[in-house]
Amino acid sequence: MLHDDYILFRLYVPLVLTILLAIMAYVHRKQLFRYIYFCNIFCFVIAVVSYVLVMNHPAGQPYSAPWMAAVPFLWLFGIFGGYFLFLVSAFAFLVEMAQRRMLARVLLGIGILFLVLLLIKALFVLFGAIWVMRGVY
């Protein structure tokens, strides 16, 4: 079995988000957004499969096939692409649902507030890093 400290966000969260995206694709009315959901599901499936391949490969041993050298890069693009596309997909889903349901409007407002707070935190960290770097020279 897989034993990793980061298995939650590398394996279990993508699996749960894949199920959530499948439900969103089933519920959503617009065909264009369904393509985004299926691309996102594809990214998460690639990320999960490549994660399992990397974790089951013995450390220090050569790869059994030349294409195995690309698996860590596939995982990297799959996981970051999957999380980014999930944010886009969730926002598109909530905007579409907010036209008809009040709960979706509330969730959309909470999501926008969360993103604004995250941006403020990121700017605080960035300016703090710049302030610390100022004293290095």
Judged against a pLDDT cut of 90, whether residue 5 lies above it is answered with: no
Torsion over CA of 94, 95, 98 and 99, rounded to 10 degrees? Answer: -150
Which region among 40-44, 79-83, 89-93, 117-121 has the lowest average model confidence (pLDDT)? Answer: 89-93
Q: How confident is the model at residue 132 (pLDDT cuts 50, 70, 90)?
A: confident
In the chain, what are the domain boundaries? 7-100, 101-137
Torsion over CA of 97, 106, 91 and 35, rounded to 10 degrees? Answer: -20
C-alpha span between 62 and 99 (Å, rounded): 54
pLDDT digit string, tens, across residues 45-99: 999 999 998 888 877 788 888 888 889 899 999 999 999 999 889 888 888 888 8
Single pTM value for the model: 0.76
Higher per-residue confidence, 1 vs 40: 40
